[in-house]
């Protein structure tokens, strides 16, 4: 049985959108702006006090990996060659802070975002 030929589209552009409530990865045809595939994962949030949101930094990072992996799997199912992804943009939580241990690479605490009235 012959191997299926991958469709040559491109160049393709990926976008990681990592927000407070979810992470998603989207892949577009850069010439037509057509959305070819995407995957989204919800992120657990904790509200330990008013105006304060915490998240597990490892869960955030894992959600990015998962979204990229699942989107690429979907592209493969569509016979779209992922090597045509030539650029990836990232939009992240701008007001959220994470402190990592520089030796172990482990987070020292949860990701913290202080909400403002103007959300």
Average pLDDT over residues 90-113: 92
Enter the pTM of the model: 0.84
**What is the pLDDT, as a whole number, of residue 119?**
46
Radius of gyration of the chain from Cα atoms? 17
How far is residue 6 CA from its own chain's centroid?
24
What's the pLDDT at 1? 42
Strand pairing report for 52-55 and 22-29: unpaired
DSSP-derived secondary structure letter, 83: G
Q: 3.40.50.12780, 3.40.47.10, 3.30.420.40, 1.10.30.50: which CATH number matches 12-45+56-94?
A: 3.30.420.40
Q: Which residue ranges make up each domain of the chain?
A: 12-45+56-94
Cis peptide upstream of residue 91 (ω within 30 degrees of 0): no
């Amino acid at each position: 049985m012959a191997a299926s030929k991958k469709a040559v589209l491109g160049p393709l552009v990926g976008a990681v959108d990592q927000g407070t409530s979810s992470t998603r990865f989207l892949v577009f045809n850069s010439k037509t702006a057509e959305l070819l595939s995407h995957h989204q994962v919800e992120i657990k949030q904790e509200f330990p006090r008013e105006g304060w949101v915490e998240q597990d930094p490892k869960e955030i990072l894992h959600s990015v990996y998962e979204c990229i992996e699942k989107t690429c799997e979907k592209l493969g199912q569509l016979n779209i060659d992922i090597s045509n992804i030539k650029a990836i943009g990232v939009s992240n939580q701008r007001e959220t802070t994470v402190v990592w241990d520089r030796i172990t690479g482990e987070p020292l605490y949860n990701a913290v975002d202080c909400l403002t009235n103007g959300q």
